[in-house]
Amino acid sequence: MSRRPHRALAAVCTAAVLALASAAPAHADVIRDQQWALEALHADRAWQTTRGQGVTVAVLDTGVDADHPDLAGQVLTGRDLIGFGAERGDPSWALHGTAMAGIIAGRGSGPGRAGGVLGVAPEARILPVRVILESKDPARAKARKTRGSALADGIRWAADNGADVINLSLGDDSESAHPDPGEDSAIQYALSRGVPVVASAGNGGEKGDRTSYPAAYPGVIAVAAVDEYGAHASFSTRRWYATVSAPGVDIVVANPDGHYYIEWGTSAAAAFVSGVVALVRSAHPGLDPAQIKKLLADTARDAPAGGRDDARGYGTVDPVEAIEAGYRLRPADPNAQAAPTGHRGRYFGAGPARPPADDRTVNWAAPLAGGLGAALLAVSVVLWRGRDAAGRR
């Protein structure tokens, strides 16, 4: 088999260097008060209908800490398609994946679950599939040479093992990046099995807005990032494939080290939308991926002039309206395949430089060693790929 140049698939979130210290019970609301995104998405209103019960979200990432207090009891037995690298207790273990899982399905922790991170779909379950390594993992070079097909394999495995939604908070927009037939085929397989696929639009908004995959594969729900005021985040890639936007600035995330970090990037935005899709699937299990993608686009709020643009897609995802509008749709033919459409182009990589620290929060600490902030600066988590059309191995 021919050899081609390597390219990196990176998780697309970046974290501020400051971190919220683990909250004592008396200060549990410190973490929850920082979760502005739940209020912006009107999650409390959506929860009057469903909290995601009965839905499984596959998180294809660096692994998930199933013992984290905010996720205990929510994480299923998944699969490790890397097979080596950092292990529990190491500073480069399951940082990014745990953060994304918390955004999707965190249940909170402490007395009355009043502390910790609360996810968009707190009764959904997480199916972890390890397909990438953190940037600080010493085994990354080995993964670069031997695990080029992990993402495609993980998508197929998740689709065959109970996933109702697949979250891909990762991507590549490097100059050498390009579509991979194996990944494209895996995504189309998942869609044909009735599993919506959500991916980050990319963090290249200040670096040329190069096209990113997997966000640009046909049928994918590609998510751009907005800030607390609903404005497009400057780092968020502007491209034709953007479906909707979601919060991606100053997002509190859980970490295996026991701290909570302030993160920013389209990784977080994609995780929020995966949580929204979980709510929609819980309320309307008969809808297929194409229907759900269109539903999110049709019900998005704060639509750009003209109805859509490359910066924010069709607007900010609105779980309340999506759930309500879902009642007016007929369930898809279970024997029919989803009919994803879209363009094919080129790809994205590391997030932008760290933004100025935000001093609005209290009880700050900076435990960078082994923390999410250190792990996700610059090139967050990387899967080296080098075969076939994607230049893997």
**Positions marked catalytic:** 61, 96, 267
Q: How many residues does the chain have?
A: 393
Find the farthest-apart pair of alpha carbons in the chain and give their distance in angstroms, rounded: 60
Choose among 291, 296, 294: nearest CA to 275.
296
Q: Residue 165, Cβ neighbours under 10 Å: how many? A: 31
How far is Cα 371 from Cα 95, in angstroms, rounded to an integer?
Answer: 8
How far is Cα 236 from Cα 233, in angstroms, rounded to an integer?
Answer: 5
Structure tokens at 367: 């435990």
In a 10 Å sphere around its CB, with 0-12 CB exposed, 13-18 middle and 19+ buried, how is residue 71 labelled? buried
Phi and psi angles of residue 246, each rounded to the nearest 5 degrees, phi first: -155, 165
How far is Cα 301 from Cα 296, in angstroms, rounded to an integer?
Answer: 10
Task: Determine how β-strand 14-20 pairs with β-strand 364-365.
Answer: antiparallel
**Three-state DSSP state, 109:** strand
- Per-position DSSP letters for 70-94, written without gaps between them: TTTTTBPP-EESS--S--TTSTTSS
